[in-house]
Structures are given as C-alpha cells and as structure tokens.
C-alpha cells in the first residue's frame, strides 16, 4: 500500500515537472515560430536607416525601437526605486521590527501585493490630478510617474524575498557575527546579506520581469502608441507590452499581427537578458564576498 502510494507520488511529481517543461517549451516554440520571421531591422526601426535611428538623428515610424527604449527605461526606473527600498524594508522586517510593527507592516505588504495593477495605474493617475490642482499645475503623466507606479507594484516581491531569505538563515550562522563582536549592522552587512544574496536576487528578478510585462499601470500613467523615444522623464513613452496589446487588438493586416508576435519574442528576449545580467552581477558580487 505504502509502496503504491510512493510510486503514485513519484509519478505525479514527474508528470508535473514534465508538464511545466512541456508548457514552457510549447509557448516558446509557438512564439518563436510566429515571431521569428518578423524579426528584422524594419521591425525595430521601420523605414528609418538603423544608424540614424540609433543616434536619434531621424524619428522612427512603425518600428518598435522606441517601445524597447521605453520598456527598458521603465524597468530601470522601477528597479532603481523598488530594489533598494524593498531590500531595506526586508531587512527592517526581518531584523529590526518589533512584533507589533512586524504584523502591521506584514499586513501592509500583503495589501500592496494584492493590489491589482490597474488600481495602481489609477492611483498614479489620480495623484497627477491632485498635483495639478494643488502645487504642480504643470504635472502630467509620463515616464517618471509610470516608473514610480510600477516600482510600487513590484516592491512587495523584493520585500518578501529579502525578508524570507534573511529569516531562513539558520541560528548558528545568525548568531555567529554577534558572537565574534560584530555590531548588529556589521552582522547584517557583512554576514547576513551575503548569505541571503541568492534569495534577494530571485526577488529582484521577479520584480524586473513583472515590471517589463505590466500593461495596466502604464495605460493610465503615460503610455501612448506613437510617442517616439522619450526625451525626458516627464515625456510620454511607448512600451513593448502595450505595443503587443495594440497590435494584437487592432492589427489591420497579417503583417501587423506577425509584428505583434515578433515584438512579444523581443520582449521575452529582453527580460531574459535582464535576468542574465542580474545573475551575472550577483555572481560577481558573491565571488567578491567569498574571498575578500
């Protein structure tokens, strides 16, 4: 009886593992087969020569290059805002907060992670309206606002993973620093954070991925179909997920739909590259931590 159950569970584990792999591969094959043919210089730059486009000497019509730049800027802004703040909050929750504050903050973080992204967009939009009516009449939606709102959206991922990575450190390592005469902050900075590095990285990756794909927030905070490359933080912008949505919903020819698939593939590659960069960065930091 026990044995059959054991086998059954083994089977189930294999199946679910295989199932995940299969689903992901199918998705990738589907995307690649539909999107690959559409990837060429024209996809990125439309009819503009690529050198002129890259140097911003001529505007780009019909290419996804501005959307790529837009998404990249969004991810960058959201990360700059959410990763340091999230790590700091995670440290506070795991190492400093008293029981009472811990449960209060836990609730807040849960609330934040349960907030739908469209609500976050709405929040940004209303914030701008409020600013306009009060002390910033010139305020309008744009890149900075969208970056901040997305940062807020992904903040809980970073907080949670940092917190749980720190809390997962076993007692004998947690007490080691203090037992050697390290102060609390020295212990966190020199021992606990390096030990939690991988966990924190996974949170950052999650945040980056989520920031790259979100459409709902930017819809209300400044994305525009043909904005071009944003010249400043206050400008309107384009973004890959929005462009995909737009092409899928309103394509006028099969070519445009193909462009949509190609754009989706580009978005996937972009996030893949960002993950890779995060992993490489973490590796090199870890190597420094381990030896020096």
Contact residues toward other proteins (CB under 8 A) are: 99, 172-183, 186, 190-191, 194-195, 289-292
Measured CA to CA, the distance from residue 229 to residue 232 in angstroms comes to 9
Q: Closer to other proteins by CB, 3 or 172: give it.
A: 172
How many other β-carbons are positioned within 10 Å of the β-carbon of residue 7?
10
Q: In b/e form, how buried is each residue of 188-200, taking b as 16+ CB within 10 angstroms?
A: beebbbebbbebb
CB of 123 to other proteins, least distance (A): 35
Q: Closer to other proteins by CB, 145 or 165: give it.
A: 165
CB of 199 to other proteins, least distance (A): 14
Let me know: does 191 contact 183? Beta carbons within 8 Å: no
Measured CA to CA, the distance from residue 150 to residue 164 in angstroms comes to 22
CB of 187 to other proteins, least distance (A): 9
CB of 170 to other proteins, least distance (A): 8
Let me know: does 204 contact 278? Beta carbons within 8 Å: yes
Q: Closer to other proteins by CB, 4 or 98: give it.
A: 98
How many other β-carbons are positioned within 10 Å of the β-carbon of residue 137?
8
Burial of 220 per CB tally in 10 Å (0-12, 13-18, 19+): buried
Share of the chain residues as helix, strand and coil, in percent rounded to the nearest 5:
80, 0, 20
Q: Closer to other proteins by CB, 173 or 281: give it.
A: 173
How many other β-carbons are positioned within 10 Å of the β-carbon of residue 138?
7
DSSP label of 235: S
Q: Closer to other proteins by CB, 97 or 233: give it.
A: 97
CB of 189 to other proteins, least distance (A): 9
Q: Closer to other proteins by CB, 105 or 119: give it.
A: 105
CB of 162 to other proteins, least distance (A): 18
């Amino acid at each position: 009886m026990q044995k059959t159950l054991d086998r059954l569970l083994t089977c189930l584990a294999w199946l679910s593992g295989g199932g995940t792999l299969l689903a992901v591969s199918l998705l990738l094959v589907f995307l690649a087969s539909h999107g690959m043919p559409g990837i060429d210089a024209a996809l990125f730059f439309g009819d503009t020569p690529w050198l002129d486009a890259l140097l911003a000497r001529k505007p780009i019509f019909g290419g996804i290059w501005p959307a790529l730049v837009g998404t990249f800027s969004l991810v960058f802004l959201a990360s700059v805002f959410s990763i340091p703040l999230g790590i700091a909050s995670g440290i506070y929750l795991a190492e400093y907060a008293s029981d009472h504050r811990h449960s209060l903050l836990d609730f807040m973080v849960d609330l934040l992670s349960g907030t739908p992204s469209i609500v976050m967009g709405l929040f940004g939009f209303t914030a701008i309206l409020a600013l306009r009516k009060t002390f910033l009449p010139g305020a309008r939606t744009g890149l900075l606002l969208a970056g901040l709102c997305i940062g807020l959206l992904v903040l809980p991922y970073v907080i949670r993973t940092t917190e749980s990575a720190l809390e997962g450190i076993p007692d004998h390592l947690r007490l080691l620093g203090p037992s050697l005469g390290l102060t609390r902050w020295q212990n966190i900075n020199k021992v606990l954070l390096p030990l939690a590095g991988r966990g924190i990285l996974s949170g950052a990756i999650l945040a980056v991925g989520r920031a790259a794909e979100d459409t709902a927030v930017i819809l209300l905070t400044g994305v525009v179909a043909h904005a071009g490359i944003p010249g400043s933080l206050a400008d309107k912008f384009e973004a890959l997920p929005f462009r995909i949505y737009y092409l899928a919903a309103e394509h006028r020819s099969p070519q445009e739909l193909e462009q949509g698939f190609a754009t989706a593939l580009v978005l996937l590659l972009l996030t893949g590259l960002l993950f890779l960069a995060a992993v490489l960065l973490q590796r090199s930091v870890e190597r420094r931590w381990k030896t020096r």
